[in-house]
């Protein structure tokens, strides 16, 4: 097998502000793995939070030696066994991108979609949340009206401004603008326990369905204790990175936001889902801002989650891949073999 890497800059349609940062673009590194005339594709995106820039991603992906495998099926088996990379310190985002490319290629070789490789009989179709960042009430209300008119049933509202009243007002105008839409709230760890206990009843009164990571990550015990007292379901995100984090939080919080780039890919996500099944903690599937290529593996799992927040490609000014939909508030697999995605324009030259 031969691998190629390409870098593409993904511009957002508008800057996305959250409690800790504002983002207007990110770099994507695309991995293409070829064998017998077929190609599988995966994507890893840069992240300041996880300390990964494009150059680092290229270096780490280049170090994964896929050439030593005769076919993608054996490489995928080695990845599942933790034997693919030469170093155990490979970031989950890199593992997820490699797994994506291998799953795509294995599916194409078998003539079957990835969801069938994962044991699902029917194509996954699910409503996805759409994020509204920290912005003015007027802009937030306009976004909410537009999203509701487009078919979105679930909106995730970013919170965590220095003045919490700004967050309350933004949720209030969104609720008024889109009264029939379900709401999630995400402060990205911006609150103290005291602030959360004071604010969550107010957001519950506005019809918010659940809150993601209200407390700063690093103290899962505090998050679990808050969940016991919260009038809203509490979903762990930054505190739930891998299987061991999920083990600590299972039964303590109401949900865990699993992002493939955070946990290490599809099979790592399936292990987390199996671990929390029956514990009272439910699965949320989330994402980073990425292209359709980066979102597609999670869409093949989407029917297993209570909440799906798979809108990263919808935040882009231009998505260079197609195949999972979402503009009407619903993501779905295309039914094509592999991931079922296609590149819609030529990209930059290979870098490796």
| Other Cβ atoms closer than 10 A to 207 | 13
* Per-residue confidence (pLDDT) for residue 85, from 0 to 100: 64
* Per-residue confidence (pLDDT) for residue 122, from 0 to 100: 94
Tell me the average pLDDT of the chain: 95
User: Alpha-carbon distance 45 to 52, whole Å?
Assistant: 8
* Per-residue confidence (pLDDT) for residue 86, from 0 to 100: 54
The yes-or-no verdict on residue 347 having pLDDT over 60 is no
- Mean pLDDT across 135-147: 98
Using 50, 70 and 90 to split pLDDT, how confident is the model at 83? Answer: confident
pLDDT: which is higher, 86 or 302: 302
* Per-residue confidence (pLDDT) for residue 181, from 0 to 100: 98
Query: Could you read off the pLDDT of 202-237 as tens digits, one per residue?
Result: 999 999 999 999 999 999 999 999 999 999 999 999
Q: Give me the DSSP letters along 103-138.
A: HHHHHHHHTSBHHHHTT-SS--EEE-EEEE-S--HH
Q: Which helix (H) or strand (E) holds 332?
A: strand 330-332
Active-site amino acid positions: 158, 259
């Amino acid at each position: 097998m031969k691998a190629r890497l390409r870098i593409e800059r993904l511009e957002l349609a508008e800057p996305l502000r959250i409690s800790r940062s504002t983002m207007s673009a990110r770099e994507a590194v695309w991995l293409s793995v070829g064998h017998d005339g077929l190609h599988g594709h995966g994507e890893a995106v840069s992240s300041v939070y996880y300390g990964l820039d494009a150059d680092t991603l290229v270096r780490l992906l280049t170090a994964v030696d896929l050439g030593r495998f005769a076919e993608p099926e054996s490489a995928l088996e080695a990845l599942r066994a933790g034997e693919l990379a030469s170093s155990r310190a490979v970031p989950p985002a890199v593992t997820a991108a490699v797994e994506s490319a291998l799953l795509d290629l294995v599916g194409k070789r078998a003539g079957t979609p990835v969801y069938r490789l994962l044991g699902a009989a029917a194509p996954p179709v699910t409503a996805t949340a759409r994020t509204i960042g920290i912005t003015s009430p007027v802009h937030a209300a306009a976004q909410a009206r537009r999203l509701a008119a487009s078919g979105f049933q679930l909106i995730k509202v970013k919170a965590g401004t220095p003045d919490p009243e700004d967050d309350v007002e933004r949720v209030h105008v969104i609720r008024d603008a889109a009264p029939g839409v379900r709401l999630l709230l995400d402060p990205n760890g911006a609150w103290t326990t005291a602030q959360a206990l004071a604010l969550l009843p107010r957001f519950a009164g506005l019809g918010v369905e659940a809150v993601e990571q209200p407390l700063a990550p690093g103290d899962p015990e505090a998050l679990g204790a808050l969940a016991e007292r919260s009038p809203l379901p509490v979903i762990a995100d930054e505190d739930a990175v891998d299987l061991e984090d999920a083990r600590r939080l299972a039964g303590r919080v109401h949900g865990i936001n699993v992002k493939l780039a955070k946990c290490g890919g599809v099979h790592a996500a399936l292990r987390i889902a199996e671990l929390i099944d029956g514990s009272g903690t439910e699965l949320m599937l989330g994402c980073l801002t990425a292209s359709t290529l980066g979102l597609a593996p999670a869409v093949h799992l989407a029917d297993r989650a209570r909440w799906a927040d798979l809108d990263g490609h919808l935040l882009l000014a231009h998505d260079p891949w197609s195949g999972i939909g979402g503009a009407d508030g619903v993501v779905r697999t295309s039914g094509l073999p592999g991931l079922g995605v296609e590149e819609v324009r030529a990209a930059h030259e290979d870098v490796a």
